[in-house]
Amino acid sequence: MSNIEGKVVAITGASSGIGESAARHLAKKGARVVLGARRTDKLEKIVKEIRAEGGTAEFRPLDVTSRESVDDFVQFAEKTFGKLDVVVNNAGLMPLSPLEALKVDEWDRMVDVNIKGVLYGIAAGLPIMKRQGHGQFINISSVAGHKVFPSGAVYCGTKFAVNAISEGLRAENADIRVTVVSPGATESELADTITHGETRAMIDQLRELAIPAQAIADAIGFAIEQPDNVDVNEIIVRPTAQPL
């Protein structure tokens, strides 16, 4: 039996891209998945399709910028299925721009979703996992959490923060597994959040190499299916031809 089968996995940002792909992939492998995001029409459709293929899935409206909403989401997963094995902190946005453009509202938004959203996911899941004596966080970072590039100062900063927070979480908790998955260019809606014209053109060109979101879902599945005493802490998955 796979070490994914029967696990309860709560996934933030599951209405598109990597989160959606992870939900479909893990459900196929027998996990009971709980999908959260703001676009509930999309979640409803994905859950219906997972169920039609024999999978077990539920959804719940989620805004990761609200601590109450994240608590409600994670508690819903535990109450519905009686336990919580994995939280995938995946929700994120990437409105890249040079600092000089002073898109301060977008900086705020990235801090709120990419950093505070992950922290709220930890705050909601950790007490449950400590009570159970086991659990796993999978935090989605980026190659931008390893390298800083022009127009990426704030986005990279949020992803470096995800790495640092994840390492602290790991070091403090001998009973909890912590995995950082860092994708390179991956097919999704992520570039749609870029409002700076020149940066968008540069990223659109880079994203011509993009790999399918399934490649990241496979990495998430790999981290979950290891034996309970094996903690895969970091995985970088990028297109072979991606220079950055």
Phi/psi at 122 (5° precision): -70, -45
Yes or no: say if 11 and 1 are a contact pair by the CB < 8 Å rule.
Answer: no
Of 48-56, 91-99, 166-174, 223-231, the window that binds ligand NDP (rule: CB under 6 A) is: 91-99
Residue 220 interacts with ligand NDP (CB under 6 A)?
A: no
Among 8, 9, 33, 63, binds ligand NDP (CB under 6 A): 63
Q: How far is the CB of 147 from ligand NDP (least distance, A)?
A: 12
Q: How far is the CB of 183 from ligand NDP (least distance, A)?
A: 4
Amino acid at 207: R
Q: How far is the CB of 240 from ligand NDP (least distance, A)?
A: 15
Residues in contact with ligand NDP, counted by CB under 6 A, come to a total of: 29
Residue 223 interacts with ligand NDP (CB under 6 A)?
A: no
Residue 11 interacts with ligand NDP (CB under 6 A)?
A: no
For the chain, count helices (H), then strands (E). 8, 7
Among 37, 50, 74, 178, binds ligand NDP (CB under 6 A): 37
Of 23-31, 35-43, 45-53, 171-179, the window that binds ligand NDP (rule: CB under 6 A) is: 35-43
Q: How many CA atoms lie within 13 A of 117 on its CB side?
A: 28
> How far apart are alpha carbons 112 and 93 in whole angstroms?
10
DSSP structure string for 10-44: EEES-SSHHHHHHHHHHHHTT-EEEEEES-HHHHH
Residue 179 interacts with ligand NDP (CB under 6 A)?
A: no
Yes or no: say if 12 and 90 are a contact pair by the CB < 8 Å rule.
Answer: yes
Q: In angstroms, how far is the first alpha carbon of the chain from the final one? A: 38
> Where would I find the H helices in 82-152?
104-110, 117-132
Among 8, 34, 94, 223, binds ligand NDP (CB under 6 A): 94
Per annotation, catalytic residue among 155, 200, 232, 235: 155
Residue 38 interacts with ligand NDP (CB under 6 A)?
A: yes
Token reading at 105: 């509202």
> How far apart are alpha carbons 129 and 68 in whole angstroms?
18
Token reading at 67: 């601590």
Residue 199 interacts with ligand NDP (CB under 6 A)?
A: no
Q: How far is the CB of 16 from ligand NDP (least distance, A)?
A: 4
Residue 120 among the catalytic residues: no
Q: Considering only CA atoms, which of 65, 62, 61, 60 is closest in space to residue 117? A: 65
State which of positions 159-178 bind ligand NDP (CB under 6 A): none
Residue 15 interacts with ligand NDP (CB under 6 A)?
A: yes
Among 9, 18, 23, 169, binds ligand NDP (CB under 6 A): 18
Q: Give the residue numbers marked as catalytic.
A: 155
